[in-house]
Every structure is written in structure tokens, then in C-alpha cells.
């Protein structure tokens, strides 16, 4: 059976395999950070680690290249932990099981971690290579990018030094990224006093599963279903028509992933059971009709099963205000760039909803390349939840990255790309967040670009990386290092 260790370039895939064997979900990166420290020291390279867990490794230039500018290869070492509901996997303990499927590498029922493991593995391969030509080179490995870019924010002046930054976190071959959107987490919290569940009611657990989910930046424009929005859409109708009572709701688990699943526990009068089950079937038909061609109909499911009667429910007034707020809350693309109608300017993602036990927690991620538009989206979200009396906090604010049209590294990378491919690359900004703007504040004067191989469906169990593009990405990277 073919494994990724047989793929080319072997040095890159060997290092990526090593990364898959170390559990590294966001906020659990100490093991992989320590692994990289040992990696650098075993090579005899200057290696340091900060309090956050960021790692910086320096490698001298090859003979005759000492006069070249210092190039920093940068990637984040954490990954998004997402799995199919029928997959048994503990992201804090279990390694990622990779499989080769045609021309792609993916994982067995989980996210792969190619975002940003391929970029990290490429930097590792450069550090240990003895047959490459390059000037002074360094690698900056940051932690917890996926949960709020905390590693990049924690960089202290002087920890990383260099003249050029090659961020290896772009996910489409042929794209060179020179800018990105900024983002803000919107945290919404409410406490309430529960009520006893009605006597004589029966209870059901509703499950919306099998949605594609995905990256809430690069895939937000595809119109994929948001499990949280669709669940509350159904709950509003069920409350109005059948007077159901909601005990708890849970959906989504990552701030930057479109939620794939949502669950609710409700109670209802026995005489409404048949009508309730008919509503379940009818709503599944609605989802199939609205999302055919977008979602995978063979996986999508909207079901209800009898469950133990909960002890408590959400008070009617609180329940209704929460349902109204989440239905009113904006979600998805808010505006395209006026002068670039194919590019998303502003969006938000209703990432996590947790209601039950006397508490409500809702988390959204607002993104925009417009520094005036992002606060406006946050204001709209705040207005939607005003009816609930919840506390709304804006946290984890990170800046966008403004393009530099005079970038020398951009011109060099474009020239190398044209030499390799015989055509010009696509140069532009990305709606997802990258660490470049934050790192640039810690290392003033950096000339920065971002590029990478083709990675499809990051932040979901459908994540996969194209094998052929990884080889070409490596060739472009090493050619650029030799010709800067």
C-alpha cells in the first residue's frame, strides 16, 4: 500500500508525516513546539522558543550566498480539529491517519492538517537540506493561528529577524497573496434561570449532520449551509406551530470553521408528536432542495430521535428572544469588493452556539478587508442580540495586511513562477486571515508574500492536498531561495 513517505519531494513528505504523528490541535501545541526545538538543535542550528511556544530556527547561507537578504519561511503549527460524526478520534491523543486517493492526500474521517502542515514541513525540509543553494534562511513556526493568531500576537520584538517573509499558508496553486482581511471575534454570553420541564411532555433530540462546513474565509462565498442558522430556522417554526419547548442547543466548535453539525433537545406534547416528525421530514426536504449542488446529499441528515426527558427547559421569553436573535443575526457574505466584484470584502460566520444549563454562549467571526466595514458588521451582530439582554464583547481583533505593489520579493516570485509555468500567477488578496500583518508589526520592514500548494476544503474532514502541486510548490520555493 502506497503511503505519503513514497511521495516526492521525499524530504517534505517525511516531515509532514512526522507532524501527523503529533497531536496538534489549536491550544494543544506544546508537544509539536518542543519537537521542532529538538529538530533544530539536532541539525546544529541556532534555535529558540518563546513563552508562547513559537519557534525560530536560523540556518547559515550556502557558500557564496552570504550577502543575500535573510529570508524567513513562516507557517503555523496548529491545525483545526474536525471529524465526521461516525469517526472515533481524539485530536489531543491520536495521530492523523493519512490516505492517498488518486492525486490527493487526505485523512481518514478527520481534518488532514495540511493547513498549515505542508508549509511547516517545507520549511523543515529547507532547514535540513544539504543540496540546496540559498542565502541566510530562517524558519518561524507560530502557534494557535487557527483560534485567533495568538502566537503571532505574542511575538516579542527581536525574537525573529529577517528582511523577507515567505508565508507558506496560501491554499491555491497559481495564487500569490499580497494582502488579507482582518477579523474580530464577537463573543456573546447570557445567563438565565431555567424552568422545570413541562409534566406530560415527551422529549426529542434533533440532529442536523453531514454538512460540508469548511473554511469560513476562503469558502464563505460558496453558499454552504450553516448548521446553526438552519437549526434555529427550524426551531422558530416548530415553536410557533407546535409550541415546543427548547432545553438545549449545541452547534459548531471552531471560530473559523463553518459549522457542520447542530443538535437540539426539545420537549413537546404527545398529541403533537406526529406533526413534529412530519415537520422534521419536511425541513429535510427543504434543505435538500435549497442546497442541492452545494452540499453532499448522500451525507446530509436532519433527524429526530426520542430521548430521556430533560429536567429543565429555557424559559419561554428567553427561548423566544434567543431564537429571534440568531435568526436575525447576519451570516455569510455581507459585501463584495466594489471594484473587484469577484472578491469578498466582508463576511461573518455564526461559528458556535451553546445554549443550556442556564447559559448561552454564541461566537461569531467577522472578517473584512475594510477597516470601517468590520466594525459595522460587529455592530449589526450586537443589534441582533440586543433583544436578549446578552453581554456582547469584541475580542481577538487582528489587522488586515495591506498589499505592497512595489514589493521586490513579489517581483522575484512572479518571475520564477512565469519561468516554471509559462504564464503569470494570480496576484491578489485573500478573504481569510494570515499572520503577515501581525508579524510585520513585530519585525519592521519585512517584504512579504504568501503562496502554497492546492489544499481543498480546509477546516473540514474533506480537507485534501493535491500531490502534484506540492511538488511544484517545493520547486518554486527552492528556486526562489536560490534566485532572490
* Alpha carbons 434 and 450: distance in angstroms, whole number: 9
* Alpha carbons 62 and 39: distance in angstroms, whole number: 20
**Which residues participate in catalysis according to the annotation?**
78, 145
Long-range contacts of 268-273 (CB under 8 A, 24+ apart): 268/201, 268/202, 268/204, 268/242, 268/243, 268/244, 269/198, 269/200, 269/201, 269/202, 269/243, 270/200, 270/201, 270/202, 272/242, 272/243, 272/244, 273/202
Q: At what angle do helices 227-242 and 316-328 cross, to 10 degrees?
A: 140
Burial (CB count <10 Å: 0-12, 13-18, 19+), residue 15 = buried
Q: Is the dihedral of CA 387, 388, 390, 392 positive or negative?
A: negative
Does residue 343 contact residue 429 with C-beta atoms inside 8 Å?
yes
Residues 6+ apart with CB under 8 A from 10: none
* Per-position b or e across 439-448, b if 16+ CB within 10 A of its CB: bbebbeebbb
Burial (CB count <10 Å: 0-12, 13-18, 19+), residue 395 = exposed
Half-sphere exposure of 240 (CA within 13 A, CB side): 10
Amino acid at each position: 500500500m502506497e503511503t505519503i513517505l513514497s511521495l516526492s519531494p521525499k524530504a517534505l513528505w517525511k516531515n509532514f508525516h512526522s507532524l501527523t504523528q503529533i497531536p496538534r490541535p489549536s491550544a494543544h501545541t506544546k508537544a509539536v513546539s518542543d519537537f521542532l526545538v529538538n529538530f533544530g538543535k539536532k541539525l546544529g542550528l541556532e534555535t529558540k522558543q518563546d513563552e508562547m511556544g513559537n519557534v525560530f530556527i536560523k540556518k547559515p547561507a550556502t557558500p557564496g550566498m552570504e550577502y543575500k537578504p535573510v529570508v524567513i519561511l513562516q507557517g503555523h503549527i496548529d491545525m483545526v480539529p474536525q471529524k465526521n460524526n461516525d469517526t472515533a478520534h481524539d485530536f489531543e491523543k491520536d495521530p492523523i491517519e493519512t490516505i492517498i486517493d488518486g492525486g490527493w492526500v487526505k485523512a481518514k474521517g478527520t481534518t488532514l492538517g495540511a493547513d498549515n502542515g505542508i508549509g511547516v514541513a517545507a520549511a523543515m525540509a529547507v532547514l535540513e537540506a544539504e543540496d540546496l543553494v540559498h542565502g541566510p534562511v530562517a524558519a518561524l513556526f507560530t502557534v494557535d493561528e487557527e483560534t485567533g493568531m495568538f502566537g503571532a500576537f505574542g511575538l516579542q520584538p527581536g525574537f525573529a529577524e529577517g528582511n523577507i517573509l515567505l508565508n507558506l499558508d496560501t491554499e491555491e496553486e497559481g495564487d500569490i497573496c499580497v494582502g488579507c482581511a482582518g477579523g474580530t471575534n464577537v463573543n456573546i454570553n447570557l445567563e438565565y434561570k431555567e424552568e422545570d420541564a413541562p409534566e406530560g411532555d415527551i422529549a426529542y433530540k434533533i440532529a442536523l449532520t453531514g454538512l460540508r462546513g469548511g473554511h469560513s474565509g476562503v469558502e464563505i462565498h460558496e453558499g454552504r449551509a450553516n448548521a446553526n442558522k438552519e437549526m434555529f430556522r427550524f426551531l422558530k417554526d416548530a415553536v410557533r406551530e407546535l409550541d415546543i419547548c427548547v432545553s438545549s442547543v449545541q452547534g459548531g466548535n471552531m471560530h473559523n470553521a463553518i459549522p457542520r453539525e447542530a443538535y437540539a433537545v426539545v420537549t413537546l406534547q404527545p398529541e403533537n408528536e406526529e406533526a413534529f416528525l412530519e415537520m422534521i421530514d419536511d425541513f429535510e426536504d427543504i434543505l435538500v432542495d435549497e442546497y442541492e449542488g452545494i452540499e453532499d446529499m448522500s451525507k446530509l441528515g436532519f433527524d429526530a430521535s426520542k430521548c430521556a426527558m430533560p429536567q429543565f427547559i429555557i424559559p419561554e421569553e428567553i427561548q423566544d428572544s434567543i431564537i429571534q436573535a440568531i435568526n436575525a443575526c447576519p451570516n455569510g457574505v455581507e459585501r463584495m469588493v466594489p471594484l473587484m466584484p469577484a472578491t469578498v470584502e466582508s463576511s461573518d460566520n455564526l461559528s458556535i452556539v451553546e445554549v443550556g444549563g442556564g447559559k448561552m454562549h454564541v461566537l461569531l467571526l467577522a472578517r473584512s478587508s475594510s477597516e470601517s466595514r468590520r466594525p459595522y458588521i460587529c455592530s449589526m451582530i450586537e443589534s441582533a442580540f440586543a433583544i436578549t439582554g446578552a453581554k456582547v464583547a469584541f475580542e481577538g481583533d487582528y489587522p488586515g495586511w495591506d498589499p505592497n505593489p512595489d514589493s521586490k520579493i513579489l517581483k522575484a516570485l512572479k518571475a520564477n513562477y512565469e519561468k516554471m509555468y509559462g504564464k503569470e500567477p494570480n496576484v491578489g488578496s485573500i478573504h481569510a486571515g494570515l499572520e503577515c500583518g501581525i508579524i510585520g508589526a513585530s519585525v519592521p520592514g519585512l517584504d512579504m508574500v504568501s503562496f502554497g500548494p492546492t489544499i481543498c476544503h480546509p477546516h473540514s474532514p474533506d480537507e485534501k492536498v493535491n500531490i502534484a502541486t506540492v511538488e511544484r510548490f517545493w520547486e518554486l520555493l527552492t528556486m526562489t531561495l536560490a534566485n532572490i
